[in-house]
């Protein structure tokens, strides 16, 4: 337990909180000229601070958003951001206190899920977050003929920086939250990432794909620092979303075909993106990493379980433990037509963090059981649970926050 004073911060304390997180992440404070772009990302009642005396020493914040879950429903989501503790106050329980207050806040607000991108995977399991999606980092050798021509249609045009955030936002909304794991991008999201990057002169470039029904895909990228572009530049794709496979292929072909580009790198891509199949030579691509991406926390376990779709199998009784939000603890009967509490004996026992890892269907229960993360009381139930939790394709978040 910490003896730090934890409370919600006012707007006038927001800057100190942002700079504290930047300090914890080894970034300099927000420059004076950039603060007008950052200030609007304050969400009232959602920025927590921990004080030692008068000094702010820890903070955690969130945005209200929505998360797409299997079956297509979009549930109220607390998107957790800007977590940091000043280095002279770490490992004294400050984060734990902030997390407890924050989760109680989400519960009160009726937010069914919380999610975050973790700086380190060892931190958030103890608060009930589990790694629910993965993402791939790829590097592709560039060339004008890199993509199979039959995959391409429509045209790609570059967008002026002053129009970029509106045009990209319209396309993102058009694409929609088509995969489990995708999040609604709020005003704060656009301000924090795009509006700010563009307003502060980041070398961010944008192009949109125009298909038969108008703009249906976009890509943003930036060149990685290099001394001599005539020797070849590495482009980093920052964001790429498309409503159709043809639009995605055309956007990849476009960035791979830009002059003076030797390779294109992209982080945070879907693990099942068919890039190897789009390439004329699949060996142009190397996978640098596949990492945990979105960590999901079921804040309201019965509501979250009942809201997603389930595969076809006989029911399974799952017993959930939850130390931080004990109301969630109990046994749930999971069946294709929905989920309800039950007194029946448990087939499987797990912590709410493991349930978070299973929730979007990225990993089957049998894999967690074989790693000792689920206690199996009835072996036959495990195969049924695999079928119940299964979804087609890999969940993907696709938005950094």
Ligand X SMILES: CC(=O)SCCNC(=O)CCNC(=O)[C@H](O)C(C)(C)COP(=O)(O)OP(=O)(O)OC[C@H]1O[C@@H](n2cnc3c(N)ncnc32)[C@H](O)[C@@H]1OP(=O)(O)O
Which amino acids are annotated catalytic? 124, 401
Q: Binding to ligand X (CB under 6 A): which residues in 41-60?
A: 58
84 annotated binding-site participant = yes
Q: Considering the rule CB under 6 A, would residue 116 count as an interface residue with ligand X? A: yes
Q: Considering the rule CB under 6 A, would residue 259 count as an interface residue with ligand X? A: no
Radius of gyration of the chain, Cα coordinates, nearest whole angstrom:
22
Question: Is the Cβ of residue 114 or residue 382 nearer to ligand X in the bound state?
Answer: 114
The least CB distance from residue 98 to ligand X, in Å, is 8
Query: Which residue among 119, 157, 286, 370 contacts ligand X (CB under 6 A)?
Result: 119
For residues 237 and 138, give the distance between their C-alpha atoms in angstroms, rounded to a whole number: 10
Residue 105 CB partners (closer than 8 Å, separation 6+): 45, 46, 48, 78
268 annotated binding-site participant = no
The least CB distance from residue 6 to ligand X, in Å, is 11
Q: Binding to ligand X (CB under 6 A): which residues in 61-100?
A: 80-85, 90-96
83 annotated binding-site participant = yes
For residues 357 and 360, give the distance between their C-alpha atoms in angstroms, rounded to a whole number: 7
The least CB distance from residue 89 to ligand X, in Å, is 7
Residue 394 CB partners (closer than 8 Å, separation 6+): 133, 134, 179, 270, 271, 272, 362
Query: Which residue among 15, 51, 73, 126 contacts ligand X (CB under 6 A)?
Result: 126
94 annotated binding-site participant = yes
Question: Is the Cβ of residue 9 or residue 240 nearer to ligand X in the bound state?
Answer: 9
The least CB distance from residue 215 to ligand X, in Å, is 32
Question: Is the Cβ of residue 84 or residue 130 nearer to ligand X in the bound state?
Answer: 84
The least CB distance from residue 20 to ligand X, in Å, is 9
- Expressed in percent and rounded to 5, the helix, strand and coil fractions of the chain are 35, 30, 35
Structure letter (DSSP) for residue 194: I
156 annotated binding-site participant = no
Site size for ligand X, by CB under 6 A? 24
Query: Which residue among 17, 18, 24, 358 contacts ligand X (CB under 6 A)?
Result: 24
Closest CA to 219 of 206, 228, 230: 206
Strands of the 316-321 sheet, one edge to the other: 338-341, 330-335, 316-321, 348-351, 375-376
Site string for ligand X, 281-320 (x = CB under 6 A): ----------------------------------------
- Counting Cα atoms < 13 Å in the Cβ hemisphere of 185 gives 25
The full 3-state SS of 373-388, as one line of letters, equals: CCEECCHHHHHHHHHH
Element of type H or E holding 6: strand 5-8
CA angle 165-166-169, nearest 5°?
80
Question: Is the Cβ of residue 18 or residue 147 nearer to ligand X in the bound state?
Answer: 18
Terminal Cα distance for the chain, rounded = 28
Q: Which residues bind ligand X (CB under 6 A)?
A: 24-25, 58, 80-85, 90-96, 116-120, 122-123, 126
Please state the residue numbers annotated as binding site for acetyl-CoA. 83-85, 91-96, 119-120
């Amino acid at each position: 337990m910490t003896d730090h004073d934890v409370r919600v911060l006012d707007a006038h304390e927001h800057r100190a909180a942002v700079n504290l997180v930047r300090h914890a992440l080894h970034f300099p404070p927000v420059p004076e000229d950039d603060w007008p772009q950052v200030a609007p990302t304050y969400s009232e009642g959602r920025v927590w601070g921990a004080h030692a005396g008068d000094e702010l020493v820890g903070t955690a914040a969130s945005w209200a958003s929505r998360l797409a879950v299997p079956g297509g429903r979009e549930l109220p989501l607390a998107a957790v951001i800007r977590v940091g503790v000043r280095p002279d106050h770490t490992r004294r329980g400050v984060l734990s206190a902030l997390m407890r207050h924050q989760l109680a806040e989400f519960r009160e607000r009726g937010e069914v899920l919380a999610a975050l991108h973790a700086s380190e995977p060892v931190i958030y399991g103890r608060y009930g977050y589990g790694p629910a999606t993965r993402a791939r980092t790829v590097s592709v050798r560039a060339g004008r003929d890199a993509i199979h021509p039959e995959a391409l249609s429509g045209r790609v045009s570059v967008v002026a920086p002053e129009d970029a955030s509106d045009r990209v936002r319209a396309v993102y909304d058009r694409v929609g939250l088509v995969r489990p794991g995708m999040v609604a991008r709020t005003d704060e999201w656009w301000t924090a990432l795009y509006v700010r990057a563009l307003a502060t002169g980041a070398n961010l470039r944008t192009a949109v794909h125009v298909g038969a029904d108008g703009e249906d895909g976009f890509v943003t990228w930036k060149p990685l620092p290099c001394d001599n572009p005539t020797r070849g530049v590495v482009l980093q794709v920052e964001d790429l979303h498309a409503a159709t496979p043809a639009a995605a292929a055309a956007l990849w072909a476009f960035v791979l075909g830009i002059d003076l580009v030797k390779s294109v790198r992209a982080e945070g891509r879907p693990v099942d993106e068919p890039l190897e199949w789009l390439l004329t030579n699949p060996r142009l691509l190397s996978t640098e990493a596949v990492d945990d991406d979105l960590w999901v926390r079921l804040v309201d376990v019965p509501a979250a379980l009942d809201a997603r779709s389930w595969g076809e199998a006989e029911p399974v009784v799952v017993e959930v433990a939850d130390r931080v939000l004990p109301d969630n603890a109990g046994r749930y009967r999971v069946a294709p037509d929905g989920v309800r509490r039950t007194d029946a004996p448990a087939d499987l026992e797990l912590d709410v963090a493991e349930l978070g890892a299973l929730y979007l269907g990225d990993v089957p229960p049998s894999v967690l059981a074989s790693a000792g993360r689920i206690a199996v009381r009835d072996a036959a139930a495990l195969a049924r649970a695999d079928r119940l939790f299964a979804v087609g394709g890999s969940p993907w978040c696709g938005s950094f926050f």
